[in-house]
Amino acid sequence: WPGSGGSRGGIAMDLFGDLRRMNKRQLYYQVLNFAMIVSSALMIWKGLIVVTGSESPIVVVLSGSMEPAFHRGDLLFLTNFHDDPIRAGEIVVFKVEGRDIPIVHRVIKVHEKGNGNIKFLTKGDNNEVDDRGLYKEGQNWLEKKDVVGRARGFLPYVGMVTIIMNDYPKFKYALLAVMGAYVLLKRES
């Protein structure tokens, strides 16, 4: 960065200097451009929710409990069509009451009752025991309402960026600041 003297303060001064040199019309244009990017991303996300039937159509594997099927940092694509029955062997993403983060594990047992009610038990492929210890107090089985989605595809290690940003919040804020500054200061040619 020319003129910055190699310091972070110099870089910040360059950014503010660029902002001051912009006229109001350019600044408004850049702010609107940034708002369009954010709203487009939100529309794509909401569209994926409608198409997949899942409240969270894309998730990142956060632990090694599903190795060797999925590794930490793999990006999973989910669907959650309610008329599609859950079967043993399927990999599901579920939420447990009292926990914020969904869990990715395999269905190992399914109990179907005559009235159509289905209950099932899950376990991580890399875990020694089933997930009853993860469920809420007194709960021994999951129900369809607990399922966020079922794994339909994945991209290996693409989600490591998310894990790094969660593990190092300062990195996340720095990356967001740089991206925001780039969008605001980028001039059309």
Contacts of 102-110 with C-beta under 8 Å, sequence gap 24+, read 102/56, 102/59, 102/148, 103/131, 103/134, 104/59, 104/61, 104/65, 104/66, 104/70, 104/76, 104/151, 105/65, 105/66, 105/131, 106/66, 106/69, 110/86
Which member of 131, 146, 167, 189 is catalytic?
131
Specify whether 71 is catalytic: no
Specify whether 131 is catalytic: yes
Which member of 54, 65, 74, 146 is catalytic?
65
Specify whether 82 is catalytic: no
Which member of 4, 14, 83, 105 is catalytic?
105
Residues with a catalytic annotation lie at 65, 105, 131
